[in-house]
Structure 1
Amino acid sequence: MAFKTEGLSDVEKQYGKLTIFASYFSGTGKSWRMLETAERVRQAGQDVVIGLLSGDAWKDTRALADRFEMLPCKELKKNGRTDREVNLEMCLKRMPDLILIDDLSHNNIDGARHRKRYQDIEELLKAGIDVYTTLDIHHIESLQDTVSDIFGGTIPDRIPDRIFDQAARVEFVDIEPELLCERLLRQNRKAFPLSQLNALRAVGLRRCADRAAACMQQTPPHTHDQILVCISVSPSSERIIRAAAQMANAFQCGLIALFVETKSFQWGTEADREQLQENIRLAQQLGATVETVYGDDVAYQIAEFARLSGAAKIVIGRSTQQGRLFFRRPSLIERLIYLAPALDIHIIPDNHPANQTAAKYMEAMYVSPVSLLDLMKSALILILVTLAGWVFYHFGSTEANVIAIYLLGVMLISVFTKSSVCSLTGSVIAVLAFNFFFTEPRFTLQAHGSDYPVTFLVMFLVSLITGSMAARLKAHAKHSAQVAWRTKLLFETNQCLQKAQTQEEILSITATQLQKIFQRDVVAYNIENGALNPPTLFLMDDTQTGEIYRSAEEKQVAQWVLANNRRAGAGTDNLPGARCTYLSIRTGKQVYGVIGIAAMGKTMDSVETSILLSILGECALALENQNNLEEKEAAAVMAKNEQLRANLLRSISHDLRTPLTAISGNASNLLSNGKLFDEQTKNRMYADIYDDAMWLINLVENLLSVSRLESGRMNLSLSTELIDEVVAEALRHIDRKSTEYHLHVQSSDEFTLVEIDARLIIQVIINIVNNAIKYSPPGSEINIGWKRQGKYVDVSVADNGPGIPDSAKPRIFDMFYSASNRIADSRRSMGLGLALCKSIVNAHGGEITVSDHLPQGSVFTFSIPAGEVELHE
């Protein structure tokens, strides 16, 4: 029997599709059905290969597999034997349409890229390859409690429920348990009892039916409803987490896993912390959001968090230990019912076989470990308060003052020691010491006064309560300090990131903060054009080179994180052999960088992980803002360039039309009616053509020079020149109308040298002189002079024309700007000449200015570097 279910959601086009051939036990024919289906796909024309087939496949299954191309597997040695794993590199290089991989739930051995085979398959799916695989249904994580009841133990090879639920297609391969037993016996294989096989079959059919029902509903989860599951360091929390996950799937709502950290947890063993991390990983694997709160009143913390988070149901475990008959205090569940009467509370009995360990934990949970240092501190404090009481007693002080001193001592013991046992013991010893040293008869434990027993009882209760309250205040103060420290770090990181100006600076600030928080080496990878740049190292020990973090293996892990947008490296299931834990700096699917935190033999707890993710989130937002800012600036530059291009085209279309029309008109007249014109008219027409052509040539030269300077493609060819020769050469190329003006050049007996690109500076002088000729009436005077000023030579061009208005002076060197005046020819100025002059002078490290020339006119002054005489021996 076989039935199929479609996926819960459409898989994105770039992802491959996963098809699972599931059954309730080995031997039902999953691999055969997978190969048979793949054969039909291959005959339809698709490229189908086998990535890995189980080594214990049956003969007829192997015969069917021989029809397919089989990719070489990766052979890894462990405990003296060689195991075969999926060769991911070969599969990704081959890139078939469909690949067959047996045993989805398999755990890879050390040395493989991933710890789990389903992670190998996920990478193939992301590459766009369809995958067929097989699965025994009892390897699904949420079914482990039921499977444990059937088999009497847990199964190590497991897959998360999401892999099964999100598969594009699931086909359940089913046969009767009796036929399966006969088949296994014929093959000399171990057969389980029919009762177990029937139970497994029922579990498998029910799980597939639940998936089929979820597929038919196709409704999004009710995110406004939340189920809150309470976790602890007890191994039995796994059962509670799975039960809560099943409820969340059934009700289609969110799941929150809450851990209440008490002061006793801080003094717990490393095994407790590791077990807590295992429980947290299981909760995350089943889709839960993990949260941690602090406080000794566990019931109050759970009820308050449920109220604030809007949880509708609470799932909690109940121990099977028998409570005390006398002086029984309300249990955690009873207090929770009292504090949260409006919530549904689901109680999961902790009757798992592993609860023997849990019971030991519960016993140790209320007895804090006592260190020798705490005992020494307690003894020292009791001795000191006894001596102080002796001094008070010697000077005639009342017994009430001595009692107050002992109460102070008990309070100090609670503050300076970790264990509550010290506080309790200190209270008892304080009463006995007061009785021994300060009551009659002294130096005995007897008391003659009838009211002393009441005094001792009240003193003991007061000291015990005072000590307990002091210890609780100390714990709250410690928690508050931790929260304040974390808040300060996040606030400081946020402020520093806001001040950063570049992506490299943002990554540097983030890595520095992480190094400060975790006291570990940090590796930061920046991303440029979709690829990783060389890593930047932030080492705790400056004497180290950090070459171990620059190895090809480490960079391969960082590259995998970039490609898959998931954490990898030490402490994870992906490439666990790395020296660092690598995480992507991301917002959604956009990755801006990769950060590596050195493992150094330590694992991060849930609080450290939350701080790390918060800081990386802040970094990602800062990088996204910086990226948006750079894109905005690039868009502004592009808009400016577009505006420049539009202005250029507009100017060309308007200003070039007149000289081109004049050239074509004069040339046409000369060609058609040349004989009708006298010699003087012809010469005037030739001169007009020449003038218009030279204007166009100068315009094109200016345009080319401006474009080269603006794009940074004009390289200066500096040489030492005499300024006299440069000016003389420039005057030979100025406008031919200069004969109508009076040009005066400064003459001096001294030789003035300049360090310039002569060709460009000649262009500057030509443009400024031509500008004076253009905007001054004929007969005006134009004076050219220069003077050395320190390391520069100031060159000036002065005219006595109409001058430049003060309002136009700030923009006179802007491109495409022309000051309005009375000269009719100004309409043919595109405003490029002076802009080009400014660019050339600035490229030489000088400045150009314009000022008034009294009584009238303008003076253009520009500075260029002075040259020195080179002496050759």
Structure 2
Amino acid sequence: MTPTTNEAGDLAARAAGTAPEPFRSSRRGRLRVYLGAAPGVGKAFAMLQSAAELQRQGVDLRVGSLDCAGRPEPLQARLAALPGGRDAAGELDLDALLARPPALLLIDRLAGANPPGSRHAQRWQDVQELLAAGIDVHTTLDVLHLESLKNRVEALTGQPVAETVPDWLLEEAHEVLLIDCLPAELPDHVFDLTTLAALRALALQVVAGRADSEVQRRYRPSGRTAPAVLGRLLVAVDGDEQAEQLVRHASRVARRRQLPWSLVHVDDGRARSAESRRLLQAARQLAERLGGEVVGLLGEEVAGTLLRHVRERRASVLLVGRRRRGWFGRGVVERLLRQGRGLEIDVLAAEEAPAAPAFATHEHAAGPFDYGLALLATLLASLAAWGISRLLALPNISLVFLVAVLLVAVRSGLGPALCCALLSFVAYDLLFVSPTFSLTVQHHADVLTLLFFLFMAMLTGNLATRQRRQMQVLRETQAETAALLELTRKLSAATDRRAVLAVAVEQFAAWPDLDVCLLGSDGAGGLRVEAGVAGGLGEAERAAAEWVWQHELPAGLGTDTLPGGRWWWWPLSGEEGPLALLGIAPRDRRPLPASRRGLLVAHCQPLAQALARAQLAEELQAARLRGETEQLRSALLASVSHDLRTPLTVMHGAIDSLLTLDGQIGAADRRELLESTRDEAARLDRYIQNLLDMTRLGHGGLKLERDWVAPADIVASSLQRLRPLLAPFVLETRIPEELPLLHVHAALIEQALVNVLENAARFSPPGGRLRVAVESDGAELRLSVSDQGPGIPPAEREKIFDMFYTAARGDRGGPGTGLGLAICQGILGAHGGRVTVGEGLGGQGATLSLHLPLPLQPPGDAEHEYEPVTAP
């Protein structure tokens, strides 16, 4: 087998970094599988021959796992010079290959198992990770290692198949090359010629099925006639030894006919033994590995429940086992064939007589107390029946014993109920059937009465047990649904990532047998514990978590990837990658059962959605903040020409007067000019400092470093800063004694209040009133400044928030306009607040209110008392 010219050119181009567009645009490597019927047919030789030719053409290839023993010497010599991808023990060095990826890697025996302690339990999982890293892989595989053919191969060879690969891996391969030879030409016969011929036929069927699938895939895009892919295949299984055989057969049929398929199990209420549950769980896990869907149904009548599900899913094929029978002896298969008109029903007979499903007396084995209860119930029923035997006819007395059987069945289970039925049968015969105190029956009619009583007692006990089991299942399902609804309700109220993680920890805290840990990115390429248990994460656990973060696949305890640790990791992923990792550690250090993992996975979906929503909210908040700060920066730049000119003009005029009229100016006038210069310099300093802070905020240099601060402190600091400016006015303050805290950047909010106060002072007449008021309604806090100036007409109240309005207005109404309302609005907007305008004092002037949202108060600090703020 030699590579084609295009293949060699593409591989060489990839090695040189000049790959053609298909390779450059694809993130996943290509898989070529050399498939054979059995060991010795020449798969490895064909792969080595192709590799030698690729090496001659300059392709960067390495040998990951390959045994050169028995190969031709020239070929061995050439391959010995190839760089390897193995560690000191001769095993595949996955990390080294990912750190320095080759263009092509050779791996022999795809179905091989990795040594204990490896990252993955199976070699094919290593191949999946290598393909995901963009590395092409050539590998060999015997058909007897396909998962769906396991039972057929074991029947043919008489030997167990310990190592298998899922069939979907072969379906995803870019190329599958059949390496074939006649059985008689094999150098070493691992199997006899008849078995080899059968395995060869299986290999040919696999390749033919893949070729048929390829034809259909190529026909569909062209619009030409091709077999339609319609319907669905359902395979109904029970907890018996035929379940896995049915699943494998269903996988083969579905793949051959290009049908999606599902495994369906109907829980009819009868409790099952541990072995039956184990077989059923194994069949479900096998179906998941083979790419099928797993569906669980509840229903007393199996055939009717299956047919209803067939109609709901619009299935075209139903596969069932022959041995599945109902309670009354009428087989489920016969009822399906009679009622399933128009449905293709395939019946697979067992290869060997499987054991019938073993039904336990209870979900857990009944103990001595349950059987003691059966004995006690029989004694009490006997006493009650003896007491009313003179009032009721003999057939009516049996109802007392039936009530006892029913109560035991509801309380304990099927075993104690049957025991109670037998004891009641004996007591009924001894005490009430003539001759009494003897098991002998005198009248033939009484025999029928006794048998009918025994039958009804056993039937009643069985039905009560089934109803009890169904009630337990419904309660469990209701509890799981209620837990998911409660989680969804709590998550809907979580507004940020920290709140979402706190809800997750609180939800999983209801399971005391589990430790929970939630990991997130630390921003430097690593992971950090964000919630839950922080200790107990060693290097091995962190390595597993990092692998899950990179590949978005579960790993850890109970999986085939890094299973040696204590934690099971599940990725909480969004559209652009993982958002967090959920870690679960059972305190008994045993792997979680599949049902428990399924419930955890069900919880993970709303958690991932909530984390994605929180991330989106943070991004929107950041975008809004950038927009607000950009608007603020623009307003600052627009107002520079006006707001800097006014104090500079005053200072320039005062200094010119002092220089020009030095000897002609009196002491009082000189002092007035100097004080004016000082006041304008202070005003200019305040403005420039604010300008610098806002500029840094707009460029990301000044962050909103929020802290808890009292509103009264902000008001007091603002009034102190403007004390000289506010001296000519009558200042009123209205601040309640009890106010909630603000979670803000205190310096920015203070600056916004200073700007509003300064503007109010500029526009108010000397001696006029100014009022500062603070109010809270629980949702927001308002800082209001009212004046008696010229006011703002209603038509202009929206225009004043335009960033150019202040500059366009010029100096009308007062000597300067401060930073302008657009700047204050930018500061409040960055905090999620707003600025509004209302009427002033006594029908004069205007009131500017700064609205700030109130977050949840810190514990113990919801309300504080302050001394009233006095005017400066």
Place the TM-score, normalised by the shorter chain, in its bin.
0.7 to 0.9
Q: What are the within-5 Å matches in structure 2 for residues 196-345 of structure 1? A: 196-218=195-217, 225-264=231-270, 266-269=271-274, 271-319=275-323, 329-345=329-345
1:152 partner amino acid: G
Q: Which residue of 1 is the match for residue 778 of structure 2?
A: none
Q: Which residue of 2 is the match for residue 81 of structure 1?
A: none
Q: Which residue of 2 is the match for residue 67 of structure 1?
A: 81
For the residues of structure 2 that align with 1:285 and 1:127, how far apart are their CA atoms? 22
Q: What are the within-5 Å matches in structure 2 for residues 525-540 of structure 1? A: 525-527=519-521, 529=523, 531=525, 533-536=527-530, 538=532
Deviation, structure 1 residue 141: 1.9
1:203 partner amino acid: L
- The correspondence for 1:26, drawn from 35, 39, 44, is 39
Q: What are the within-5 Å matches in structure 2 for residues 662-741 of structure 1? A: 700=688, 702-707=690-695, 711-712=702-703
Which region of structure 1 is more displaced relative to structure 2, 429-438 or 821-830? 821-830
Q: Which residue of 2 is the match for residue 638 of structure 1?
A: 626
Asked if the contact 2:425–2:450 (Cα under 8 Å) also holds between the matched residues in 1, the reply is yes
SS at 2:186 equivalent:
helix
For the residues of structure 2 that align with 1:635 and 1:784, how far apart are their CA atoms? 37
**CA-to-partner distance for each residue in 1:154-176, whole Å, 9 max, x for gaps?**
32121111211211222233333
2:421 partner amino acid: S
* Structure 2: gaps (5+ residues): 8-21, 221-226, 654-676, 708-712, 732-746, 773-783, 851-865
Deviation, structure 1 residue 557: 0.7
**CA-to-partner distance for each residue in 1:167-206, whole Å, 9 max, x for gaps?**
122223333333323xx4xxxxx55433333333332233
1:596 partner amino acid: G
Q: What are the within-5 Å matches in structure 2 for residues 108-507 of structure 1? A: 108-181=114-187, 184=188, 191-218=190-217, 225-264=231-270, 266-269=271-274, 271-319=275-323, 329-351=329-351, 355=352, 358-359=354-355, 361-362=356-357, 364-365=358-359, 371-393=367-389, 399=394, 402-419=397-414, 421-446=415-440, 451-507=445-501
Cα distance change of structure 1 residues 760 and 227 upon mapping to structure 2, 3 Å threshold = closer
Asked if the contact 1:2–1:172 (Cα under 8 Å) also holds between the matched residues in 2, the reply is no
- The correspondence for 1:610, drawn from 572, 589, 598, is 598
Q: Which residue of 2 is the match for residue 53 of structure 1?
A: 66
**CA-to-partner distance for each residue in 1:15-64, whole Å, 9 max, x for gaps?**
12112222223333322332332233333333222122227453534323
The percent of aligned pairs where both chains have the same amino acid is: 26
Deviation, structure 1 residue 382: 0.3
Asked if the contact 1:706–1:836 (Cα under 8 Å) also holds between the matched residues in 2, the reply is no
Asked if the contact 1:781–1:799 (Cα under 8 Å) also holds between the matched residues in 2, the reply is no
For the residues of structure 2 that align with 1:247 and 1:439, how far apart are their CA atoms? 60
SS at 1:535 equivalent:
strand
Deviation, structure 1 residue 385: 0.9
Q: Which residue of 1 is the match for residue 656 of structure 2?
A: none
Which region of structure 1 is more displaced relative to structure 2, 528-537 or 21-30? 528-537
SS at 1:350 equivalent:
coil
Cα distance change of structure 1 residues 192 and 3 upon mapping to structure 2, 3 Å threshold = farther
For the residues of structure 1 that align with 2:250 and 2:847, how far apart are their CA atoms? 87
Q: Which residue of 1 is the match for residue 551 of structure 2?
A: 564
For the residues of structure 2 that align with 1:317 and 1:705, how far apart are their CA atoms? 77
- The correspondence for 2:503, drawn from 495, 504, 509, is 509
2:551 partner amino acid: N
Cα distance change of structure 1 residues 709 and 433 upon mapping to structure 2, 3 Å threshold = same
Deviation, structure 1 residue 413: 2.4
Deviation, structure 1 residue 839: 7.6
For the residues of structure 2 that align with 1:616 and 1:728, how far apart are their CA atoms? 53
TM-score by structure 2 length?
A: 0.74
For the residues of structure 2 that align with 1:638 and 1:774, how far apart are their CA atoms? 31
* Structure 1: gaps (5+ residues): 76-83, 185-189, 540-545, 667-689, 747-758, 787-795, 868-873
Q: Does 1:575 align with 2:575?
A: no
1:463 partner amino acid: A
For the residues of structure 2 that align with 1:195 and 1:510, how far apart are their CA atoms? 59
Asked if the contact 2:430–2:438 (Cα under 8 Å) also holds between the matched residues in 1, the reply is yes
Cα distance change of structure 1 residues 434 and 834 upon mapping to structure 2, 3 Å threshold = closer
Asked if the contact 1:514–1:612 (Cα under 8 Å) also holds between the matched residues in 2, the reply is no
1:551 partner amino acid: G
Cα distance change of structure 1 residues 125 and 865 upon mapping to structure 2, 3 Å threshold = farther
**CA-to-partner distance for each residue in 1:381-427, whole Å, 9 max, x for gaps?**
1011112223334x7565455333222112122222322x5434433
2:552 partner amino acid: N
Larger C-alpha radius of gyration, 1 or 2? 1
**CA-to-partner distance for each residue in 1:110-153, whole Å, 9 max, x for gaps?**
21111110101111111122222222232222233442343123
Deviation, structure 1 residue 345: 0.8
**CA-to-partner distance for each residue in 1:460-484, whole Å, 9 max, x for gaps?**
3443443333223222222221221
SS at 1:316 equivalent:
strand
Deviation, structure 1 residue 553: 1.0
- RMSD, aligned α-carbons: 5.2
Cα distance change of structure 1 residues 858 and 504 upon mapping to structure 2, 3 Å threshold = closer
2:585 partner amino acid: A
For the residues of structure 2 that align with 1:36 and 1:294, how far apart are their CA atoms? 57
Deviation, structure 1 residue 234: 2.9
Q: Which residue of 1 is the match for residue 17 of structure 2?
A: none
SS at 1:385 equivalent:
helix
Cα distance change of structure 1 residues 258 and 518 upon mapping to structure 2, 3 Å threshold = farther
SS at 1:228 equivalent:
strand
Cα distance change of structure 1 residues 241 and 449 upon mapping to structure 2, 3 Å threshold = closer
Deviation, structure 1 residue 804: 6.6
Asked if the contact 1:816–1:832 (Cα under 8 Å) also holds between the matched residues in 2, the reply is no
Asked if the contact 1:74–1:86 (Cα under 8 Å) also holds between the matched residues in 2, the reply is no
1:204 partner amino acid: A
For the residues of structure 2 that align with 1:769 and 1:237, how far apart are their CA atoms? 81
Q: Does 1:585 align with 2:572?
A: yes
2:80 partner amino acid: D
**CA-to-partner distance for each residue in 1:352-408, whole Å, 9 max, x for gaps?**
xxx46x32x44x449987654433221111011112223334x75654553332221
Asked if the contact 1:313–1:346 (Cα under 8 Å) also holds between the matched residues in 2, the reply is yes
**CA-to-partner distance for each residue in 1:496-548, whole Å, 9 max, x for gaps?**
11121222322332344344258322222134548554225646xxxxxx733
Asked if the contact 1:727–1:762 (Cα under 8 Å) also holds between the matched residues in 2, the reply is no
Cα distance change of structure 1 residues 485 and 849 upon mapping to structure 2, 3 Å threshold = closer
Asked if the contact 2:722–2:758 (Cα under 8 Å) also holds between the matched residues in 1, the reply is no
Asked if the contact 1:814–1:831 (Cα under 8 Å) also holds between the matched residues in 2, the reply is no
SS at 2:514 equivalent:
coil
Cα distance change of structure 1 residues 784 and 48 upon mapping to structure 2, 3 Å threshold = same
Asked if the contact 2:755–2:819 (Cα under 8 Å) also holds between the matched residues in 1, the reply is no
